[in-house]
C-alpha cells in the first residue's frame, strides 16, 4: 500500500502554486449572469471517504454548478427509470461542442451522451414523468440536498432567468428532438426544469460532499445513505471519464486520470474512487469550455496524491 497522501499540505500547496495565475481563462459570457463573476475566484475542496475535509481559497463560496448538475441528474434518472433511459440517449463521446445540433440530425434525434446539452435535456425529460415542472424542480433540489447532506442548497433564480433569456440554442435542440419523438413532454416544461437544475448554486465543499457516493460504490460513507447501486456508480464514473469534459474529455483523462464533470460556471467535480470526492472552482474557461485552472489544479492533485483510475 502506498503511504497516505498529506492532503492538507497538497491542497494548500496547489492553492499557493496557482495563486499567481488566478484570473486566467475566459469567463462564460453568453449567459449574462455568469459574466458578472469575479474571474480571480478560486476554490478547492477534497472530502475523503473518512469524512475528512480539506479546503483552500473560495471553497465555501456558492457558484453556479451548470453542467455538473448533469451527473447528479443522471444519477436521479437511473434511480427512477433504470437502464431504460439508454433507449433515448447514447453513451459515446461526442467530439462536438456541448451545444451542437449536427449529430442529432445524423443520428435521428438520439443524443450521443447524457452530458452534452441535448442528452441532459432528454434526461431532464425523464425526470418530468408524472410531475409538473415545479414538482420536478423541487424533487431535484431535495435530491441534491440529500446527496450533500446540506439543507441550504438552492437554485440561483437570477441565473435561471438569464439562461432562459439566452437559451435559443437549447430550445432548438429540444424542438428538434421533440420532432423525432425523443422528448415526451412539452419543450417549455422540459427546458424550465433544465435551466433550473443547471442554475443550482453550491460551494466546492458542498459539491465535493454531494459527489462522495461516486467514490464509494454508490453509498455515502459519511451519512451511510445508499444512493445508487455500485454497478451504476461505476458506470456514471465511466461516463464522466469519457464524456464529462465535452470534446476536452480525452485530454482531461490523459492528464488527470480521474472521472470528472465540468460546468461553464468554472466548476469541476472529480472522483478518486476509493479515496475522495474533489470539487474545484475557477471561473476562467479554456477553449473547450472547461475551467482552465481547475483542470490544472486537478492534474496537480492527482499527481501529488498518487490518485488515478489507471494505477499509481
pLDDT band of residue 1 (cuts 50, 70, 90) is low
Parallel/antiparallel/unpaired status of strands 154-155 and 260-262: unpaired
Count of beta carbons in the 10 Å neighbourhood of residue 216: 20
Comparing 163-167, 232-236, 258-262, the range with the smallest average pLDDT is: 163-167
pTM above 0.75, yes or no: yes
Average pLDDT rounded to a whole number, residues 68-76:
98
Q: Is 139 left (phi over 0), alpha (psi -120 to 50) or beta?
A: alpha
pLDDT band of residue 100 (cuts 50, 70, 90) is confident
Cα 68 to Cα 264: distance, rounded to the nearest angstrom: 9
Edge-first strand listing for the sheet containing 63-64 = 63-64, 200-202, 154-155
Does 157 score more than 80 pLDDT? yes
Comparing 54-68, 89-103, 293-307, the range with the smallest average pLDDT is: 89-103
Give the pLDDT score at 273.
97
What tens digit of pLDDT does each residue of 189-247 get?
999 999 999 999 999 999 999 999 999 999 999 999 999 999 999 999 999 999 999 88
pLDDT band of residue 98 (cuts 50, 70, 90) is low
**List 64, 187, 193, 194, catalytic entry:** 194
Mean pLDDT for the chain? 95
Comparing 97-106, 179-188, 200-209, 270-279, the range with the smallest average pLDDT is: 97-106
What tens digit of pLDDT does each residue of 33-68 get?
898 999 999 999 999 999 999 999 999 999 999 999
Classify each residue of 183-206 as buried b or exposed e, where b means 16 or more C-beta atoms within 10 Å of its C-beta: bebebebbbbbbbbbbbbbbbbbb
Does 96 score more than 80 pLDDT? no
Q: Is 30 a catalytic residue?
A: no
**List 70, 162, 187, 190, catalytic entry:** 70
**List 64, 67, 100, 203, catalytic entry:** 67
Q: Is 89 a catalytic residue?
A: no
Cα 226 to Cα 134: distance, rounded to the nearest angstrom: 26
Q: Is 254 a catalytic residue?
A: no
Angle at 210 between CA 204 and CA 216, to 5 degrees: 120
Q: What percent of the chain has pLDDT over 70?
A: 97
Average pLDDT rounded to a whole number, residues 280-288:
96
Does 95 score more than 80 pLDDT? no
Give the pLDDT score at 289.
92
57 phi and psi, to 5 degrees? 65, -135
Query: DSSP states of 128-156 as a string?
Result: TTTS-HHHHHHHHHHHHHHHHT-S--EE-
**List 46, 264, 277, 295, catalytic entry:** 264
pLDDT band of residue 97 (cuts 50, 70, 90) is low
Amino acid at each position: 500500500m502506498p503511504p497516505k497522501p498529506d492532503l492538507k499540505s497538497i491542497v494548500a500547496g496547489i492553492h499557493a502554486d496557482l495563486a499567481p495565475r488566478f484570473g486566467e481563462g475566459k469567463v462564460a459570457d453568453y449567459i449574462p449572469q455568469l459574466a458578472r463573476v469575479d474571474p480571480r475566484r478560486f476554490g478547492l475542496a477534497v472530502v475523503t471517504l473518512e469524512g475528512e475535509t480539506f479546503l483552500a481559497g473560495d471553497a465555501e463560496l456558492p457558484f453556479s454548478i451548470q453542467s455538473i448538475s448533469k451527473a447528479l441528474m443522471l444519477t436521479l434518472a437511473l434511480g427512477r427509470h433504470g437502464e431504460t433511459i439508454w433507449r433515448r440517449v447514447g453513451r459515446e463521446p461526442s467530439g462536438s461542442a456541448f451545444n451542437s445540433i449536427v449529430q442529432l440530425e445524423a443520428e435521428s434525434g438520439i443524443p450521443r451522451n447524457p452530458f452534452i446539452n441535448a442528452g441532459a435535456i432528454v434526461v431532464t425529460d425523464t425526470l418530468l414523468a408524472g410531475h409538473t415542472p415545479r414538482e420536478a424542480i423541487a424533487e431535484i433540489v431535495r435530491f441534491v440536498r440529500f446527496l450533500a447532506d446540506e439543507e441550504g442548497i438552492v437554485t440561483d433564480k437570477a441565473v435561471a432567468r438569464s439562461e432562459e433569456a439566452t437559451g435559443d440554442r437549447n430550445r432548438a435542440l429540444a424542438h428538434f428532438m421533440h420532432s423525432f419523438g425523443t422528448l415526451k413532454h412539452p419543450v417549455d416544461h422540459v427546458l424550465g426544469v433544465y435551466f433550473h437544475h443547471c442554475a443550482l448554486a453550491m460551494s466546492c465543499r458542498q459539491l465535493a460532499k454531494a459527489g462522495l457516493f461516486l467514490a464509494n460504490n454508490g453509498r455515502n460513507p459519511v451519512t451511510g445513505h445508499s444512493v445508487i447501486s455500485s454497478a451504476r456508480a461505476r458506470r456514471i464514473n465511466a461516463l464522466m471519464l469519457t464524456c464529462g469534459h465535452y470534446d476536452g474529455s480525452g485530454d482531461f483523462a490523459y492528464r488527470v486520470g480521474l472521472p470528472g464533470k465540468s460546468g461553464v460556471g468554472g466548476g469541476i467535480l472529480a472522483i478518486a474512487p476509493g479515496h475522495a470526492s474533489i470539487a474545484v472552482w475557477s471561473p476562467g474557461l479554456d477553449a473547450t469550455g472547461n475551467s482552465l485552472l481547475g483542470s490544472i489544479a486537478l492534474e496537480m492533485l492527482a499527481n501529488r496524491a498518487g490518485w488515478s483510475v489507471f494505477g499509481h
